[in-house]
Each structure stands twice: as C-alpha cells, then as structure tokens.
Structure 1
Amino acid sequence: MSIPSPTTAYVEDVSPGSGALPPRARYASSNARSLALNGSWRFRLSQTADAEDDSFAEEGYDAGGWAEVTVPGHWVLQGHGSPVYTNHLYPFPVDPPRVPTENPTGDHLRVFDLPGDWPADGGAVLRFDGVESCARVWLNGTDIGEFKGSRLPHEFAVGHLLKPTGNVLAVRVHQWSAGSYLEDQDQWWLPGIFRDVTLLHRPPGGVLDFFVHASYDHASGTGTLRVDSDVDGRVTVPALGIDTVTGETVTVPVEPWSAERPRLYDGVLATGGERVPLRVGFRTVALVDGRIEVNGRAVLFKGVNRHEWHPERGRALDLETMREDVLLMKRHNVNAVRTSHYPPHPAFLDLCDELGLWVVDECDLETHGFTEQGWRDNPVDDDRWTPALLDRAARMVERDKNHPSVVIWSLGNEAGTGRGLTAMAEWIRGRDSSRLLHYEGDPDCRDTDMYSRMYADHAEVERIGRGLDGGTGKRRELPFILCEYAHAMGNGPGGLADYQRLFETYGRLQGGFVWEWIDHGIADERYGYAYGGDFGEELHDGNFVCDGLLFPDRRPSPGLIEFKKVVEPVAIERDGAGGTVRITNKYDFTDLSALAFTWSYEVEGETAATGALSVPPLAPGESAEVKLPEPPEAAGAGEAHWTVRARLAADAPWAPKDHVVAWGQFTASARRVPSVPPTARPVPGSGTLTLGPAVFDARTGALRTIGGVDVTGLRLDVWRATTDNDDGAAWQSDVRYGPLWRRLGLHRVRHRLDAVEPAGDALTVRTRVAPAARDLGLSTVYRWTSDGERVRLTVSVRPEGDWTVPLPRLGIRFGLSGADRVRWYGGGPGEAYPDSRTASSVARRQSTVDDLQTPYVRPQENGARADVRWAELGGLRVEGDPEFSLTARRWTTEQLDAATHRTDLVPGDTVWVNLDHAHHGLGSQSCGPGPLPRYHLRAEPARFSFVFSTVPRRGT
C-alpha cells in the first residue's frame, strides 16, 4: 500500500478542504471591480495524482510546451482523456475515502495582469464557481488552499498576494477524490474547471454577506422586507418608497412574486465601500394543513428535473444556453424545476427569478453506489463525513438564499438515510426557516416537509392521494411530490395525462418533476451523439444518459410537446353535445386577462373560418361556458372540427404575442367512412390475377402493383423496433415487454400461405403468422375487393393458442419506391401513441419522409401519426376504416431495431410504410412503470380495412 505524499493526502481527506473563506451570498455585480479569468489556460494531464511535482505553481515556470484548454470546460471534452458515464455504479473501487492511484490529474496555469485601474486599497477574493472534483490552488507560488464540492463556490482571500503584472494562478484538479463518493449522480463524470473563475476586489467597508428577507401577507396585500448584512448600510427600493437601514423591518403594499407573475423590485444595498444591486421578490412559502402554499395558495408543480448539459461543452454552460432552457420551459408550460442533483450555475437562478419558475434547489450530494453493498459505509451515516455534508449544505444555502424562485431546499438525492442528513436538515432550518425541505430517500420523512417518491405508478399515486398508502405519523400528514416520474427516455413517456388527472383530483398530490430535461448525448462524428460505452468505459450504463424531453441539440422531443399539452394552464373542453365550450383557469395565481382566445372551424382538415372568442378573465379555478358561433354556411360538407386556442394577447418576456398556451379540438360533424362497392372480379393472366387497378401474383396472392405503382411485400406486421420503455430497466423485476416479445419470437415471425382463393367479386388470401418454436399464432385473412377504380383490403386476424403477452403493433406494412413527400389528413403534427397522444390534433398536413422520423439518440420505434383518415405517398392514396396509424421510413423495422446510433441508419431505395390498426402503449418503464392496462394491445380478434387508389405523383 502506497502512502500518499503530503501534496496529495488531501485528495482522500473526508474534510471539505482548507483555506477557503466561509460561504456567502453570491450577487452578479456591484460597483466593486472584478476580473474574469476565463479563457485559454495552459494544461498538463497526468495519469496519477502524484506523477508531477508542484514546481509548475512557482513563478517563472516554463509551461510553453503544455497544451491549452478553455476554462470553463472539461478537459475530457477537449481532447485529453475520455468521459465516463455511469448511472449509479462508482467507476472506481468502493473503499471510502480512498480513490485509485490511477487518478487523472489536470494541472492548469494562467498568467494574468491586473487592469491598470485596479484599486490599490482593500483586499481581493479569488472565486471558483465549480471544479470537478477536487482542486488545489496556488497564487504566485503560495499554496492558498484546496477544496471539494464540485458544483459549489469556493473563495480565497488573495489581496496580499497580488502583483500589478505577471500573476501566476496554478490549479491542480483531480478527477477522483473523497468528494467523488458524495457526487455519484446519474451523469457523465467530467473533470475540470467547468464554471467561472473570477477575481473580485473587496473594498474597505464592502459587503461580505447579506440576506434579503422578503415575505408576503396575502390577507393584507403587504410585503415585509428586512436585509441583514455583515456591515451596516442603507437599503433602498425606489418603486416601493423604501429607504431604511440594514436590520430594520419595513412593511409596504406590494405585488407578490410567483412563478406565474414574477414581480421583482430593483433595490440597492449601500455600505461605506460598496453598492450591491438587489432584486427583491416578496413571497411566503408555508406548509398549511398538509399543503405546500405560496402566498396563501396551494401550488401544483408541473416540473422537470434539470441536469446542466451541452452536447459539446458538457456542464460548462453559457448564459445564452441557460436562457434558452428557461424560455423553452416557459413556452412548454413548465412551471417548476428541480436542480438535479446539485445547485446550478447561479445565473440560471437569476433567470428563474426574472422569468418565473418554482425551484427546488438540490444539494450536491448523492451516494447511490452504496446501494450495491446494502448502504454499508454510506457517508451520510458516518460522523466523519458530517462536516463535509454540512459544508455542502451551507454553500448551497448561503449562495442561493436571496433568490425568490427557490422555494424548497433539497438535501440531495439517493443517498440513503443517516445522521448526516439530519444534521444538514437541522442546520438549514436554523439558518433559513422561510423555505421547506425536501428529500426523497427517507420513507419516514424524518427530516423533510413533504413525502417524496420516485416513479410510483398511477395506482400507488392514487392510493397516496386518497390517504390509503399505509403511511403513518408525520408522513401521513404531509403533501406528496413525485420528485421524479415519467422517465423521458427514448420514445415516451406514456401516461402523462393519466398522472395529471390524479394530481388535479387529489389535493394531497402537488405534482411532480419529469425525469429529465435533456438527453446527455455528446456530439460525436462517429455516432451523431455518443452515450455510455462509446468511449471504452470499463463500466457504463449505455444510453440511460439520454432520457430527456429535449434532444441533445435542444430540439423539443415529442415527449415535451405532449407534456406542454398535458399541463396546459387552461382547460378547453367540449360542454356536452351543444355549441358551447367550457373554459377553466388552471393557473394557481393569475387570471386569464393576458390571453386572447380564437376559434377555427375546419372541414376535412382545412380551415373554413376563424374568429375571436370572448372569454371572461376568469380567476384561478373558475370556469365559464362560452358559446361558439354558428358553423359558416359556406363551409361545405364533410367531417368538421372546432379548434379553440388560448394565445398570449401581447408579448411576454418569455414568448411573443400569439404564442399558443393551450388549445382544444372537438368534432362538429362525423367522418364518412369510405365505401367501395365490389363490382370488379379477379381476372387471371400469365401468372397474375388482376382485380380492378391491382395486380397480384396468382400463386401466392401477393400484391404487385396498384394502378402501375409497384408495391413490395405487403403483409401483416406485429413487430416494432423496441423502445427504451419497451425494453425496460435491467433491475426491474416486473414485466418488461421488449424482452418478452423477443423471447416469444415476435421479432422473427414467419408467414405461412394456406390458400389463395379468387372467387366471385373477391380475392381471398389465407395465412398464418407465427413465431418459431411456439404453438401460438395469428390466423390472418386478406380479402381484396374493387369497384374498378379503387381496391379495398380487409384484414381479419384471429389469435390461436394461449396469448398472454400483448402485441407490439397490429397492422400491415409494405414497400414503395420513389416516395418522398407524404400528405395526410389526421393526427399530428408530430408522432402519437396510445398513451401519448394528447398533443395530436386533426388537420391536413404534409412532410417529407425524412422529416417524419423522430431522431432518438438510440434508434427505436418512432414517427407514427395517429388517427389518419387518408394518406398519399409514392403515387398511392390510402384511406382507413377505421382511422389508422401511419409510419414511413427509408429502412426496414429490422434495420431500425438493429441500429444503436443514428449513423447506423442508411437510407435505402425503398420507403417502408406501416398502416397500423393499433399499437401497444409506451409507458415509462425505462425506469418507471409500464403502460397502463388500458393501453395494452391484447391479442384478440380484429378486423380493419384500407382503400387504395392512385394519385398523380407530387415530386419524386
């Protein structure tokens, strides 16, 4: 066993570090000078913690032969080493607090001059906002300290060491340290200085720390403000006429802050040496009668979990990317974010204050890997680690305490239970009683103000809502939060609308946070986006790191579009069979005066008329019945729909005027099902049978052409390229449908021809579709008829044997050549599946085949358009009876199923079309529950029809 040298012993020390200043509030700017030290740094990578000496920190050291990296940044994303992804397994031997000798270590060097007008009086502070995972710092050859706590700020007093020019800042960063045992979050392990490095002048009499206490009394409509500071000063808020001193309390009439109406008041804290800007939001968070209330109203969280991520820069986010995240959340009706599983870049919280999001601010703590040994040696139940835990809690609370958006502190994530968590909770409550406490991992809720769970299924959530879950003591009286649910991995999540109905039904259920915001794919020329295992990791968890509502490039996934619809803050519902709609305000705080309502009347998917709809400015929770106009006389006959939309009446800080906030669509007149009177008869030819416009192989009954359009391999299809949710999570012991389907052999069914029967006005082809090695199958009959211009296919399916497993899909597939553009009348604009279709509306649409694909990082079943009445592609027109689900792609299902990355999918000359009668639901079993039973596609008798005809080709 090697003995760590004095220069590296701190790596395995369980203490939080040494030399750093006490934590304090962070503010974006003041009139004191600052100097950003971001940019290009010299860099040297060693494979062990003590391979190099400390001479690089000395003045005059020649680092001319070193590489360069960008700070903020991760060296493994800049060509030095490789990233590592694990969900919860530690990627090193578990022997706390020790870490391997093979410990990649990055030496960073930056030489800087002070600006010419840098003040000579006072001191200076060097601040690191985030370094993973352990750092030692020297300035001008002096060792000033070391620290752990990757996603937390650390500051050092350095004024006495500064020179006008040639300052040498040296930082040694270790990938692994004792702190790594506390940071086992589900994400890439990415070492480096990944947040800002700043030098701050501290003038005499300047502010070291301050605490803005700004509460709101909803009964009187007044706000109470007190600003505590380590130095005396004046507090002014001009818009409120406030001019007082620190430590004094003032009560004035105010507009409160909420996520829906984030009213901030600009103020100033002025001391003898500094003027610090304040952004004051008045709000009160309280636990009242078992409900989380803000400003006297219960809140329903429609939230997401957000890791920090950029596909090229990892967790080194810029302000523009953070703003894009918040704008996307607001535009998709997200009202809350849990900062999983660490405090975010502080600028993100500034944006949440400004634009309005409820924030659960989570401590940089997770010890999930200890579950592999039954939580033995878990640091949160080991007194030696408690100072480190308290340090992390304090650095979070002190940094973020002045943000009105932060309404809940979270102790951490998946860290088991123990004395350390209790110590953290007690410290936080003693420091800040104005917020509530969250932690999911303690079923007894000893240290929390809410009962929190992950991935509870719908039935259990309903039991909890009804108080029938068996909870006792404190837990029984607490509100319930799903801190993670609806695992957004790949195609899905399904069941969002079913969860939301429960949240809105039972008062104890106060919503939840979808896991998670963005796929953590790394931009990579080989794969498009890389995931776990693509960098040769010894241990990895594959594409489990890609489980977000955004694709890595921040394009919204269908899951986010579905979530927006499910949680929309205005319900627009048909009121019975009459010509009225029921409008309900589902906001918690605001009326509907900021919205303008419109109606449109569509016939056969095309808009016939539009107009404004007068809706009163309903208060939260209120409803009104609103009469629709009479249908326009010139609208024409056919299937008709009303669509009512709620749009922004004016520009908002987060979206432009006319942005659609909510919508509803209702049937005005029913669809006419296509009719094909059977008048043509099968005519034999040379090895063929002709029926109207269709030509068949006389021996096999296989369709060859329709009206001169070649058709390849039309047959029953029951297989889909399994989704991440079909395949489920490896640790789940309950039913995972993807593995069951493969075990049954549904991915390799065979088709047996039993009979070809041209008789009378029909061609009947009888087959049996079944997997090898099984005694079950699907008796399938294709019956073709024609009126001379069109041909109708009726498919009848009858299960044989003991089918205990649902089917993936049920429909037909065939190939077309020369198809590119697709026109259809039905659901869209994006994909929809049985338990994820709320966002699908009926209209006429068109697309290229390529644009029909949903680019999941790991290819899988995707792109189905639901409720299609008719579709045109490749010279064919298809009408369904009943409506069908449409997919079209340039590769087979088998090729899609075999692909592991987007780049594996190579377009072919044939477009493969699926016309599906039904699909199995999606669920979110990649980590959560599978689809609800009502979304199962059971193997039972079915009958469905398609009418084929030809249309002039549009393009190629």
Structure 2
Amino acid sequence: MLKIDKNWEDPNLLHVNREAPRAYYIPYADASAAAANKRGRSPYYRTLNGTWKFQYHASVKRVEDGFYQEGVDVTGWDDLLVPSCWQVNGYDQLHYTNVNYPIPCDPPFVPDDNPVGLYVRDFQVSDKWDDKEKYIVFEGVNSCFYLWINGAYVGYSQGSRIPAEFNVTPYLRGGSNRIAVLVLKWCDGTYLEDQDLWRFSGIFRDVYLLAREKTHVRDTFIRQELAADFSKADLNCELETSGRCEVRLELKNASGETVASSGAVIDGKGAVKLTLDNPKLWNAEQPNLYQLYVHSGEEVLRFSVGFRRVEIADGVFRINGQAIKLKGVNRHDSHPELGQTIPVNHMIKDLNLMKQHNVNTIRTSHYPNDPRFLELCNEYGFYVIDEADLECHGLIRTGVEGAFHVLSANTDWEAAFVDRAIRMVERDKNQPCVVIWSMGNESGYHVNHMAMAKWTRERDNSRMVHYEGAAEKYKGHPDTDCLDMDSRMYATVQEMEEHALNPDKVKPLFQCEYSHAMGNGPGDLKDYWDVIYKYPKLMGGCVWEWNDHGIKTHTPEGKPFFAYGGDFGDKPNDGNFCIDGLVSPDRKPHIGLLELKKVIAPVRLEAEDLSKGLIRLTNLYDFRDLTHAALYWKVEQAGRLVEQGHIWQLDAAPHGSQIIAVPYAEPTGEEETYLTISIRMKEETRWSGIGHELTFEQFELSPAAASEQAALQVDAPPVLASTSGGRLAIDGFDFRHVFDLQDGTFVQLSKHNVQMLAAPAQFNIWRAPMDNDRRIKQQWIEAGYDRASMKVYRCEWSQPSADTVEITVDFSLGGYIRLPLLHGQALWRIDGTGEVSLRVDVKVREDLLFLPRFGLQLIMPRGTEEVEYFGFGPHESYIDKRQSAKKGRYLLSVDEMFQNYIMPQENGARYGTEWAILSNEQGMGLKFTSSSGDFSFNAEHFTPHDLTAAEHDYELERLKRKETIVQLDYRNSGVGSHSCGPELAPQYQLNDKEFTFELSITPIFKEDE
C-alpha cells in the first residue's frame, strides 16, 4: 500500500517544498540566444517532454508503495507522451460537465477511489551542470502531484494550471537519473477548479529542468512609470537574487539597438532604474516591444517590455490615455485531439484567426494560459484579462441556500484562494499584454475574494482588478471597493444602457461573457455594439466563447465526428453545451465569427451624400491612422458588375473621420443598383496577407423599378381548368398544375412535362430548434408547433377570366391535444404564363409564444441541386444575424447552402431574398418572388424534422434525402443567444398575431428566360 501523506484533502496544505512563485523566463548563455527565444538553444534548459513510462490505476488505493524507487522495473508499463492528458490517450473517463461537480460535493473531501497516474522516466544530466543549482518546472499538472527523484521524495503541489517549481539540486547527479511522479485526478483543489470543460488529468503542460548559477537572479518585476504626456518612461526593475550578484540591464528597441542600460550589485533584493525618452508605446494595434536583457554571471534573462498605462478615469477604461473598447472572446485551452495540451502552433492558429476577425481582447477563461501564449499576445497585440484558476460553480447545485459562497466565505480556504492569485500574478506580472487581473469565475463572492483582490492590488497597482461574481453581492458583505469595474455576464442591451445612464454607477461596465455563440449564433451582436459604442462607460466585452470543445472520435463504422458530453457514457454531463464557440474544434470559422468581425470592425462606413458619391469613413482604431488600408469599391446592377475602382490613400486619424468621394457613374436603367465598399490591408502582416478585408459596407443606389414586375403580367395565354377525383387540373400552353381540393394544396407543378414537385406543398411553422432555442423548445413542443398540420375548412375555385384561375382555402394549423395555433385564408391565383401567386392572411392565437417561422414548404424532385438567388449571401443570414452577408446574386449548390453544426439544427436561411430559383443543372425549376417584399428561404436535403431528430452531424448522412426541401418564409424568427444569454429580443420574434404573406411561384427553364 502506498505510504504518502494524504495532502490532497487539506485545503491549507497547498504544497511541500515548492519554490516561491516567480516571473516566467528561461536563462540563456548570451543575449543573441535569448533574443531568439528558443528554449532548446539554452545550455541551462533541459526538456523532460517526451515518452515516459506510465501506469494508470482507477484508485490510488491500488498503488503499490515503492514504485518511485530507482531499481523498480517499469519496462512493462505503458508508454505515454508528456505533456498530454490521460483521457485522450485511452485512460480513465472522458467527461464533460459545466456546472455540476463530477464528484460528491463534500469539500475538502474527494472520493476514496481517486484515479491516479504513475509516471517514471530515466534521463541524463550533463556533468557541466555539476556546479549549478538545478530546478524542475512543471507548467501544468491536473490536479495534484507528488514528486520523487532517484527514489527520494522531493515534494508536492496542487493548482492545476499554474506552474510548480522545485529545487532538485540535492537529488540529481551527473549521468543517469530517474524521476517519478504520482498524479491524482481529484484533490481539495478540485472544488476550486469546476470550470465548464472536459475534465482532463495528467501532466498536460511542459516539464523541464533549469540549471542556474549558485547566485543568480531569481525574480524580476519590471515596473514602469510614464510621464503624463508619455514623453518619458522609467523602468524600475525590482530584482530578487539568491545571493550577492552583479547585475547589468540592457533595454533594446525593435531594431536591436541599446536605448538604456544600467547595473548594480544586488544581494537578496534591490532595484535598477532605466530611463527612456519618447518611448514607443505598446497597444493591441501597435504592439511596440522593447527587450530587456538581465545579465548576471553567465546567465542572460530576457523580458519583453511594452510601455503602456492602464487606468480608469472618469468612469472610462483607458490605455495610454485613450478610451478603449475591449472587443474580446473567451478562450479555453482546447484541442480536438490533445485536450488541454496546446502546441505553440495551435496557439498561433488561434491568434491569427482572432486578428483576422478584428478581435483585440482575450479573457483566459478560466485559468492562466501557457506563458508562451502570453508572449505571443505581447507580439501580436492583444489585451489579456488574465484569470485565476478558480471556479466553484458546482456549489450552486447542492440545493443549500447560500452554498455558492460557502468556500469564498470560509477563511479556512483563504490561503487556497489567495495562492491562485499570487501564482498567476507573479508568473505573468511582466507580460505587457495583461491589462486586467481576474480573480476567477463563478465562485460566489466573499472575504476570500476580497483577500485575493487586496493582495493583487498591493502587489501590482498598474493593472485593473476584475471579478464578475461580485455582481451577486452576498448579504451583509457588499464591499466591492477592491474591484475596479462592474462586471456582468449576459446582461441585456437594455441593462447595459441603464448602467451607462445611471449616475450612481461610477465604475465602467465590462461584459466578461455575452452573446453566447452556441450553434447557429450569436444573433444579437450588432445590438450590443450599437450601445457599447454609444456610451464611454461601457468597456466592451468578451463573447462566450472562442471555440467548440468537441473531442475528435469515430463511430463504430469508423466515421470521424466531434463528440460532446454523454458520448462517452459520462455522467453527469451537459451534453453539447461545450459546442458553443465561434470556431469549430478544428478551427474552421462559424458564421458567428464573421458576424463578430463585421460588428467590431475598426472602420465604419456611412453614406454622406450618395448622389455625389460621398462616403463618410470613421476610423475606430484607438491608436493608428488608416494609412495601412485602402478602399476598394464596385457598383453592381442586379448582381452584375458595372464598374469598380480603388482609393489608395486613406489617412483618417484614430477616432477621426474623412469624407471619401467615390467616382462611380450615376446609375442608369431600372435594375437594382448597389455600391459595395471594402476596406482592405495594403501591407502584409504576420497574421494577414495583402488585400485582407477588414470590413465592408453596401449602399443601395437605386431600387428596382416597380414596372419591371408589372411587365411580366401582360399578354397571358388562356388556361383550361378541369376537375376529376377531387383534384383541379390547370392546363396552359406549356404547363400543367394540379391542386388537391380536399387537402387544399398543390400536388403538381410542371413545365413542358418536367415535374417540379415531389410532394404536396404545405404551410410550415416548425424549424429544427437551434441551440439558442433550447430554453423555449419544450414550450414550442408543448404548444404543438412541431406537429402542426393543416385542417381545410373550405376550398373553392373559380375562373374569373380566360387566363386566370383562383382557389380560396380557409384553413388552420394545429397539433393533437391543443387548440388550433393559427387560422388562415390562402388565395392561390394561376395565370396563363403558369405563374402561381399566393396571398395568405394569417391570424395567430393570441396566447401563443412567438412562432419559429411561417412559410410554405416545397419538396422538389431529385436532381434539384442548383440554387440561384438575389439576396444576402453567400452564407446563411437571419433577421438578427446578417451583418457579415452581402446583398448580391449568388449561384450555389444545395449542399453549399447547408451550414453544418455539430449538433444539427436550423441553418442555411437566406434573409432578405428578392428572388430565388431552384432548378436542376439544366436550369429547369421554380422561381420564387414576393410582391410584398423580401422573404427568407432555405434549400437543403433535410426536412426540419430530420434535423430535429439528429443529435450529431454524422447522423445526417443516413437522413439525407435525394429530394430538395425548400422553405419559403414570410419570416424566420431570429437567432439571438438564449442558449445562455437573454431571451430573443422582441423585434426579432415572429410574434405578429395578424400578417399577410405574398409569394409567386413560376416554373421556368432558365436558358429560355
């Protein structure tokens, strides 16, 4: 039986023999190697990443004592790559849960059957290190671990996502050595690490050795003071040494030139001051970095320095004196195959995508990220909210009143709370990208959080302190003076505006989470940013969240898919709630990311005087002018390019405007004409190429002439109407339509004997619930929306003229048990050209919730694969999710109309459509228009009920139909972000109790048009 102290159930025992936290750095032998920032090039660095021997046990009780001894034979153990997570390597249980603790909630106790991983590795230590102090650093181990070297116990640590460092000089020898690590899945720290994620375990970040001089610089805190006008900067470099050291500091600019230097002899603690005139300031738009080299003996430490001032003045968040809007995302460490082990190239992929989509802020939800990620943020230019590894969300599910605050109010846990702030701040205190410290997430609020914030403010007063949990103040303890901003999650647009207008609210408001990007969403971004831009007191916010957390796996048949909670038999689980990002697990942008890019774009384009070609261009950058960008324009009529050009010189200052004269000709003809303006990069960056589009805008120069539609109605040939077997046949020159008088609908539309319906047409109100419909879905089902069918009360036809047949149908839609949902009267009109016109007047039951949609559903025959339309595109668009779509003429396939989501749901609608043609590849099909205005349509190989029934996208392969299902909607309710955010805004709900929908359906052969 294993003989170790049971440290994992004592909240006051956070480590044994662990070194005090310090700033992140790697010692190098010279400045050039330090500048290259390649750790492997340092003679004082030795990675322990690689293959380790590994043994997994379902319970720590099954571990035999002595496994860590030098002579133990581990050749029969498994091989496991370090860093990695057990669960994605076939060990233990893959488990996703959001709020609920996956163990009984009994802090500080955890299950006795506590899974454990044993790691053993033999490695070499160079004789050149004999006279060095030697340290081992674990950047991340979940959740706690014990360490032995050469059979001797070294120490213990917990706190999964913050580094643990041990002095291992007494234990190492030259030549061969053996390291053994015991990692436990659960510890008392698990109660502080209840984040919304897959529960991974193991040594999941880098492990390495450092060799140091006997007396060396142990820690550096680079404090800066900027003159009021930023004309001068003082660097006060506080140094901690392990003994008496002669230290020399050099500050170099981006060109490698030394711009300041100084030195001192430090014995224990001391400071060196550097002064620089006219420093280039750092910000997310212009991430100007200097490099500080700290020379001591044979070692050189390098730190990036970004001169910036972070403050709140007059209730406004400012950087370098400028009011800033934080255009952010929440980012978890998540890889579809590696779990929480994140390679540097994967980090870079994320940052490139963020930059390309105008994101300037990252909240490290909900723990500090790998320190190399922050170094990249320094270089790319991102504002970072660095968040402590702290979340106690599961306490709210205990059923006990006030339980959410039980740990934050219990001073027995104060050391554990504060330890997580200390280790984060000390590690990252020199990272210029960090502008806000966050005291964790969803952990109640009480004295322990106040202690965290108090320590943080005393240690570093150069940044702001944030904690959203204080928005729900604990009775009797409303003290939030230790926090610099009011923080909210998923506040409505109205609530944000109320904060901005309330004179008693003296702090700025930060939405640390808003606009939940789950599935087909979010759909409320523009509404938020209209109000954020309007009020200086609103700082901005971070969309929840950056990426879907799907785990790449395979069906029994070998088909790959992204799994979510419950797919591995995990209980309790929160299903697909982890599939809630702006990008897929493999980093393919969702349409929601395109929406965000457009809404937070750094340039605003407005019509000044279109008759003169004048466009107002407003620079929303905070620090840079627009000389790096160019304006491209084009004019299109009915989707056809008429003329184009570009304007190379833009010079609007930050927050300034300029009027641009676009030299297009005055539109002629009667076709709808649009001007499209595109702002693009004219220089290459590390994240974009020349021509990358920052934003665009469209302006209607002239609408289509009304006479164009009227011209189609003249000289119609006569039609012949006849009835047989309850059906009405309407025969014309080149068409035959058949209407079922009993069922009140068309069952055949044809031209030149080409059949264009594969099933009777029907009215439809159901859509496959989006993730953002999840809170209202059950109410829709209870009301019968999903099973609504048509009842025909009256169906009559007449032929008022030789070239016209009219059919009137009185009907209702309803499902079993419930009263009819709506009543309507449909007037169908067929003329001699074969065109079918529909006017339907609808009255919805007054007490009903808003409808998902209302429209006409057609099922067109196999081979109907070509979609041509004039409307918003080329991707999906909805009434509240269309900022990133451009009005134009598009030619797509039915498959290209489909927008895949890991959880199948309503997708692929095209809002604002003026006309659409669904046809076979020879152009034989149906054209749809509406005299009452734009309409929304979908075309895909699935019915709404097909998508409703599927739980994973791989299931769609067997559900895919040969026919094409076309949905032609009066309106499709908006997207919103109600999966976690506020209810869908009223203006985006189909809540009309009376409305009229008009639609024209014309069989066509496109080549003859």
TM-score (norm 1): 0.94
Choose 818-827 or 452-461, whichever is displaced more: 818-827
Determine if contact 2:262/2:273 at 8 Å carries over to the other structure: yes
Alignment of 1:20-31 (within 5 A): 20-28=18-26, 30-31=28-29
Change (3 A) 1:164 1:569: same
1:60 to 64, 71, 83: 71
Q: Distance in 2 between matches of 1:138 and 1:117?
A: 21
CA RMSD of aligned residues (A): 2.1
1:903 to 935, 940, 954: 954
Determine if contact 2:326/2:360 at 8 Å carries over to the other structure: yes
SS of 1:379's equivalent in the other structure is coil
Q: Distance in 2 between matches of 1:630 and 1:121?
A: 76
Q: Distance in 1 between matches of 2:180 and 2:900?
A: 43
Determine if contact 1:380/1:419 at 8 Å carries over to the other structure: yes
Q: Distance in 1 between matches of 2:174 and 2:736?
A: 87
Determine if contact 1:780/1:795 at 8 Å carries over to the other structure: no
Q: How far apart are 1:112 and its partner, in Å?
A: 1.4
1:139-186 deviations in Å (ceiling 9; x for gaps): 111111111100000011112322333321111111110010110111
SS of 1:278's equivalent in the other structure is strand
Letter in 2 for 1:187: L
2:483 to 440, 448, 469: 448
1:580-620 deviations in Å (ceiling 9; x for gaps): 21111111111111111111111111222111136641112
Letter in 1 for 2:738: F
Choose 684-693 or 317-326, whichever is displaced more: 684-693
Alignment of 1:608-647 (within 5 A): 608-613=642-647, 616-631=650-665, 637-647=670-680
Letter in 1 for 2:602: P
Does 2:547 match 1:518?
Answer: yes
1:497 match: 526
1:480-536 deviations in Å (ceiling 9; x for gaps): 101111111111112110110111111111111111111111112137111111111
Choose 526-535 or 296-305, whichever is displaced more: 526-535
1:415 match: 443
2:766 match: 719
Choose 232-241 or 347-356, whichever is displaced more: 232-241
Q: Distance in 2 between matches of 1:117 and 1:878?
A: 81
Letter in 2 for 1:920: S
SS of 1:850's equivalent in the other structure is helix
Choose 26-35 or 170-179, whichever is displaced more: 26-35
Choose 836-845 or 610-619, whichever is displaced more: 610-619
Determine if contact 1:485/1:514 at 8 Å carries over to the other structure: yes
Q: Distance in 1 between matches of 2:728 and 2:75?
A: 79
Q: Distance in 2 between matches of 1:451 and 1:321?
A: 33
Alignment of 1:114-193 (within 5 A): 114=125, 116=126, 118-193=128-203
1:286 match: 311
Letter in 1 for 2:900: P
Q: How far apart are 1:726 and its partner, in Å?
A: 1.2
2:39 match: none
Q: How far apart are 1:864 and its partner, in Å?
A: 0.8
SS of 2:175's equivalent in the other structure is coil
2:259 match: 241
Letter in 2 for 1:498: D
Choose 302-311 or 222-231, whichever is displaced more: 222-231
Alignment of 1:209-248 (within 5 A): 209-217=219-227, 219-231=229-241, 232-238=246-252, 239=257, 241-245=259-263, 247-248=272-273
Determine if contact 1:694/1:703 at 8 Å carries over to the other structure: no
1:841 match: 886
SS of 1:503's equivalent in the other structure is helix
Q: Distance in 1 between matches of 2:441 and 2:169?
A: 38
Q: Distance in 1 between matches of 2:130 and 2:216?
A: 14
Q: How far apart are 1:415 and its partner, in Å?
A: 0.9
Q: How far apart are 1:691 and its partner, in Å?
A: 4.5
1:888 to 921, 930, 939: 939
Q: Distance in 2 between matches of 1:694 and 1:408?
A: 69
TM-score (norm 2): 0.90
Determine if contact 2:938/2:967 at 8 Å carries over to the other structure: yes
2:985 match: 932
Runs of 5+ in structure 2 lacking a partner? 30-42, 264-270, 472-477
Q: How far apart are 1:839 and its partner, in Å?
A: 1.1
Alignment of 1:501-580 (within 5 A): 501-526=530-555, 528-575=561-608, 578=611, 579-580=613-614
Q: Distance in 1 between matches of 2:820 and 2:232?
A: 72
Does 2:426 match 1:398?
Answer: yes
Does 2:23 match 1:12?
Answer: no
Q: How far apart are 1:24 and its partner, in Å?
A: 0.6
1:879 match: 928
Does 2:842 match 1:798?
Answer: yes
Does 2:665 match 1:665?
Answer: no
Q: How far apart are 1:50 and its partner, in Å?
A: 2.4
Letter in 2 for 1:603: Q
Letter in 2 for 1:256: L
Choose 168-177 or 884-893, whichever is displaced more: 884-893
Change (3 A) 1:7 1:117: closer
1:642-693 deviations in Å (ceiling 9; x for gaps): 0111111111222111111111100011024634427343432765512542
1:757 to 786, 797, 801: 797
Change (3 A) 1:218 1:551: farther
1:689 to 729, 733, 757: 729
Determine if contact 1:691/1:786 at 8 Å carries over to the other structure: no
Determine if contact 2:741/2:795 at 8 Å carries over to the other structure: no
1:88 to 99, 102, 119: 99
Change (3 A) 1:860 1:193: same
Runs of 5+ in structure 1 lacking a partner? 729-736
Determine if contact 2:487/2:511 at 8 Å carries over to the other structure: yes
Letter in 2 for 1:903: Y
1:732 match: none
Change (3 A) 1:848 1:207: farther
SS of 2:20's equivalent in the other structure is coil
Determine if contact 2:564/2:579 at 8 Å carries over to the other structure: yes
2:453 match: 425
Identity among equivalent positions (%) equals: 36
Q: Distance in 2 between matches of 1:869 and 1:908?
A: 27
Does 2:869 match 1:818?
Answer: no
Q: How far apart are 1:770 and its partner, in Å?
A: 2.2
Determine if contact 2:805/2:831 at 8 Å carries over to the other structure: no
Determine if contact 1:73/1:195 at 8 Å carries over to the other structure: yes
Change (3 A) 1:497 1:404: same
SS of 2:756's equivalent in the other structure is strand
Choose 439-448 or 485-494, whichever is displaced more: 439-448
2:293 match: 268
2:325 match: 300
Does 2:713 match 1:677?
Answer: yes
Change (3 A) 1:237 1:722: same
